[in-house]
A and B are shown apart, each in its own frame.
Chain A
């Protein structure tokens, strides 16, 4: 028997897909903002904070980078209630993703910080800049600029990885896809459409990151 692909049932659920898309976007953007600042803080603590901080950050990075995101999410969502901490699905997902992205961002931003020559900082001091000005204009800004390509591709990978939160029933794009699949039994079609939407999202993000780069750094 020949199988005919039918997309009508999938597209009929477009409002539902849109809800999922918006949740995926919200989760991704929130994770990027919090994860970036967590990464920046940890990278600074590790680079300028002495050996205690350096070790602490190293333990954090290695723990996160050597265990799967899915297990980290399960631990927060299923594991924490037995310690008396009960989190909503979205909150558990957001916290797990921020901790995860924070570790990868730390590693990237730290490499950027270490690439700033000491003479640059001394030059800033001799110009009479305040420590905050030196930190902002001479250390952080060029470090992020140098690491921008690595950071933005990490962010896009993160957006794709948010699909994993469907496994704790957060109604993101992927989870909406599985619900439509169980209603319509158009499994192959559903996942083709879902994959297409993620792809479009990834290309769109790349475009947005290029615009941000031009606005912020290329002057």
Chain B
């Protein structure tokens, strides 16, 4: 039966956005863990570690996210794990997010002048202490605007999880569109909700970047 597209549907779509946000949070957490390891490996003094991390980033940045989603969605059953859109999405987005965050954070780490490391060493700090007290605080400042920028990418890319049946904003849009037969109104609403989530973040990232450029 075809229903009308009314306020109830809009409210429903807005509520579906919480799954988009939940998936983003999951993807960011997973991606941050992978990315942090990659960034540190990329600036390691051991060539094999650097090459391995770089290979990982090349491969993930050279394949579509959709492929990763489907590989995990179907691959889980081969590995003997239950097939579940949440698990597949968690793996795929961690792999994908890690590659991009790793590259962003590596850039931030090498943007800190090498003399800072040397200064730390001459004070008798260990590698971990130099990292924790001298390099990280400076690198975090540099990395914040592009990291927020990537978060926007991530929010938009969670829409691809709709293709493996993960019910978030876009999938909810597809379902609403099928039952109301008002695709234009539905997808405009969906786009508006994404915009309302992403636009403030984009602006924030830009403001931080401007402030950082002035400070430098």
Q: Show the binding face of A for B, using Cβ within 8 Å.
A: 3, 62-63, 65-72, 74-75, 78-83, 156, 160-161, 163-164, 166-167, 174, 178, 181, 187-188, 191-192, 194-195, 198-199, 202-203
Contacts and interface: CB of A to CB of B under 8 A. Distances in A.
B62 A198 contact: yes
Given A66-B194, A160-B65, 17 more contacts: A63-B195, A66-B198, A66-B202, A68-B159, A70-B162, A72-B191, A74-B170, A74-B174, A78-B184, A79-B186, A79-B188, A160-B63, A163-B64, A163-B67, A191-B70, A195-B67, A195-B71
B152 interface: yes
Interface of B: 59, 61-68, 70-71, 74-75, 78, 152, 156-157, 159-160, 162-163, 170, 173-174, 177, 182-184, 186-188, 190-191, 194-195, 198-199, 202
Q: Is the interface of A mostly helix, strand, loop or mixed?
A: helix
A121 B66 CA distance: 46
A198 B64 contact: yes
A79 B183 contact: yes
Given A160-B64, A198-B62, A3 B188 contact: no
Contacts of B187: 71, 74-75, 78-79
Contacts of B70: 178, 187, 191
Nearest to B191: A67
Contact of A78 (B62, B68, B183): B183
Contacts of B157: 68
Q: Which of B74, B157, B173, B195: most chain A CB closer than 10 A?
A: B74
Contacts of A71: 159, 170, 173, 187, 190-191, 194
A202 B160 CA distance: 20
B183 A164 contact: no
B90 to A, nearest CB: 18
Given A62-B199, A174-B66, A195-B63, A167 B184 contact: no
A160 B69 CA distance: 14
Contacts of A199: 59, 62-63
B160 A164 contact: yes
Contacts of A163: 64, 66-67
A16 to B, nearest CB: 17
A74 B194 CA distance: 14
A75 B170 contact: no
B194 A62 contact: no
A174 B64 contact: yes
